[in-house]
Amino acid sequence: MSFTQADQAYMARAIELAQQGRFTTTPNPNVGCVIVKNGEIVGEGFHLRAGEPHAEVHALRQAQARARGATAYVTLEPCSHYGRTPPCAKGLIEAGVSKVIAAMVDPNPEVAGRGLAMLNEAGIETAFGLLEQQARALNKGFLKRMEQGRPYVICKLAASLDGKTALGNGESKWITGPAARRDVQLGRAQSCAILTGADTVLVDDARLNVRAEELTDIERPVEQWRQPVRVIIDSQNRLHPELALFKIPSPVVILRSDLDNQHNWPHFVEQIKVNTRAGRIDLQAALNTLAERNINQIWLEAGATLSGAMHQQGLIDEYLIYLAPKIIGTDGRDLFNSAALSSMSQITELQFTEVTSIGTDIRITAHKQQGK
Which residues line the annotated binding site? 54, 79, 88, 158, 172, 174, 188, 200, 204, 208, 211, 235, 301, 303-309
- Give 284's DSSP letter: H
Q: Helix (H, G, I), strand (E, B), or coil: what is residue 6?
A: helix
Phi-psi region of 227 (alpha: psi -120 to 50; beta: other; left: phi over 0): beta
Q: Residues marked as binding for Zn(2+)?
A: 54, 79, 88
Distance of CA 231 to the CA centre of its chain: 14
> How far is it, in rounded angstroms, from Cα 56 to Cα 75?
10
Phi-psi region of 125 (alpha: psi -120 to 50; beta: other; left: phi over 0): beta
- Whether residue 27 has a cis bond before it, omega within 30° of 0: yes
Strands 276-277 and 280-281: antiparallel
User: To 5 degrees, how large is the angle CA 355–CA 358–CA 361?
Assistant: 85
Q: Which candidate in 40, 52, 56, 223 is catalytic?
A: 56
Q: Is 349 a catalytic residue?
A: no
Strand (E) or helix (H) holding 204: helix 198-204
Contacts for 337 with CB less than 8 Å, ≥ 6 apart = 304, 305, 308, 309
Q: Quick one: 138 exposed, middle or buried, by C-beta within 10 A (0-12, 13-18, 19+)?
A: buried
Contact 171, 331 (CB under 8 A): no
Q: Residues marked as binding for NADP(+)?
A: 158, 174, 200, 204, 235, 303-309
Shortest CA distance to 255 belongs to which of 225, 295, 227, 226? 295
Catalytic residues: 56
